[in-house]
Amino acid sequence: MSPIQRTSIDLARDRSRGIEALRGTGVPAVFCDLVRVQMSECALLFVSGMVATDETGKVTARTMREQTRIVLDKIRRALEHEGAAMDDVVRVRVYVTQLDQATLRDIHEVRSGYFTEGRYPASTLVRVDQLIRDGALIEIDADAVVATR
């Protein structure tokens, strides 16, 4: 048996994942919520980019602060599904459609409630023209390392 095992973990019930272009076509969205790579002494978790959607795939929150909170809650739930916590996150990539001082302040104020000082993850922030969902202001993906021994 290989010392490294890879598992794709899908938390969504809807195979189209609420992507309008795929609804009713029978074509699945070809990605998962997270990938777990189990090694001998730790597991690596790679969480797909999350946006602030509800269970129907719609973005209902309107502010950067609200959307950031929803996204980080979704990431936390994905990690908890695999026995991990936000303090296990070692890297995040943040994509935003607007970037100004107020946006940065809002994002970091919300993030401070999810990450412990001294255990902050490495981070990249990129401004983009558009995200996958109409109305989405922020998308975050995350990588975590969890000790298994």
CATH number at residue 91: 3.30.1330.40
Mean pLDDT of 9-22: 65
Tokens in use for 124? 């990249």
pLDDT of 140: 99
Give the chain's length. 149
Q: Residue 148 — very low, low, confident or very high, per pLDDT cuts 50/70/90?
A: confident
Share above pLDDT 70 across residues of the chain, in percent, rounded to a whole number: 87
Residue 58 near residue 140 (C-beta atoms within 8 A):
no
Q: Residue 8 — very low, low, confident or very high, per pLDDT cuts 50/70/90?
A: confident
Query: Residue 11 above 70 pLDDT?
Result: yes
Query: Residue 16 above 80 pLDDT?
Result: no
The total domain count for the chain is 1
Q: How far is CA 30 from CA 17, 56, 74, 79, in A?
A: 10, 18, 19, 20
Residue 142 near residue 75 (C-beta atoms within 8 A):
yes
Give the DSSP letter of residue 20. G
User: pLDDT tens digit string along 89-137?
Assistant: 999 999 999 999 999 999 999 999 999 999 999 999 999 999 988 999 9
Provide the residue range defining the domain that includes 123.
5-147
Mean pLDDT of 27-46: 87
DSSP structure string for 64-101: HHHHHHHHHHHHHHHHHHTT--GGGEEEEEEEES--SH
Percent helix, strand and coil across the chain, each rounded to 5? 25, 30, 45
Q: Residue 13 — very low, low, confident or very high, per pLDDT cuts 50/70/90?
A: low
Q: Residue 1 — very low, low, confident or very high, per pLDDT cuts 50/70/90?
A: very low
